[in-house]
Amino acid sequence: MDDVRATSAWVASHSSHVLVDSSGIEKVVETIESIPKVVWDFEGIHYFDNGPLTVQYLFVLDALNFCFWPDKELSYDHLASGLKASLQNDKSAFDADRLQKYTGPELRELLKWPRPLPLEDERVRLLHEVGCELERSFEGKAANIVESCGKSAVKLVAVITRHFPGFRDHSLYKGHQVFLYKRAQIFAADLWGAFRGQGYGEFNDIGSITIMADYIVPAVLRQLGVLKYSSTLASIIDANSEIGPGSEEEVELRACSIYAVEKMRELMSMKSGKQVLSVELDLWLWSFGIQCPSLPHHRTLSIYY
């Protein structure tokens, strides 16, 4: 995760469209006595049986956890609860051999979704990729990935991005490679949250995980006065116009969000004298954002978030 932090900081220091406002960070931190604790499964939308099937569920969930906004009625909750219901109905639904064979219509049926999903072909491709590599390298079980990592979230992210190309959330920005790793990191965070830091969710280095740079967190940070946009970028976002994947604007929105929350975390740790986890800040910011659906967010068609 050092690469994520370092390259995000580099983007923030060379940004043309997004500014991280230090005074805005200080103001927000002054108003927070402690991070409001958000229970990981606060709406009961996830499958959980305290065993390896939960790990399999979370890996499938995070393989598909991207790009909801083109369909105004679709949300993360539909994905999480739809996959939960399908697994409750058929415990073999996410077996590696079956993941390799799903079609778009079959995925829709799993989720009980009445029309084509955004980037449906990509979602199906990623399901096939996950099933194939799980079968080839991990005896079909996502739990075997976790067990191979020796309670290290950093190693887990490294193994996932090495074995599963669909999780390689990289961008090129002004001649520099930038590492963001949203979905690989959120798998570690989901495990930690679901298992409450025990069993498959026990990581000795959970503090190494950064926030998960998506389209909600930048919108919340803008609302809080932590991020400031150029007038051109602000007008694009407020008009609900699309921003190209890998564009300077998109990379800056995501990388500056990571950098800004790292600065928030450091300041809060100094203030409280206790370790503050980026993963806790991320969950708080994300829950704040989904409770304010009218917040204007950037729109990018991407498999990474």
Torsion angle in degrees (nearest 10) through CA of 263, 280, 58, 245: -30
What amino acid is encoded at 217 in this protein? V
**Distance from C-alpha of 256 to C-alpha of 219, rounded to nearest angstrom:** 12
Identify any residues that bridge with 229 across adjacent strands, giving them in sequence order: 18
> Which tokens in the block code for residue 237?
């976002």
Ranges of beta strands (E only) in the chain are 18-20, 170-173, 176-179, 227-229
**How crowded is residue 86: how many other Cβ atoms within 10 Å of its Cβ?**
19
What the block records as the tokens of 154 is 């950093």
The active-site residue out of 62, 169, 190, 214 is 214
Strands (E), 81-230: 170-173, 176-179, 227-229
Q: Is 214 a residue of the active site?
A: yes
How many Å apart are CA 276 and CA 264, to the nearest integer? Answer: 9
Say how far apart CA 278 and CA 214 lie, in whole Å.
14
Q: What is the DSSP string of 80-102?
A: HHHHHHHHHH-TTTT-HHHHTT-
Cα–Cα dist 208/200, whole Å:
17
Contact 143, 55 (CB under 8 A): yes
**Looking at the annotation, which residues are catalytic?**
214
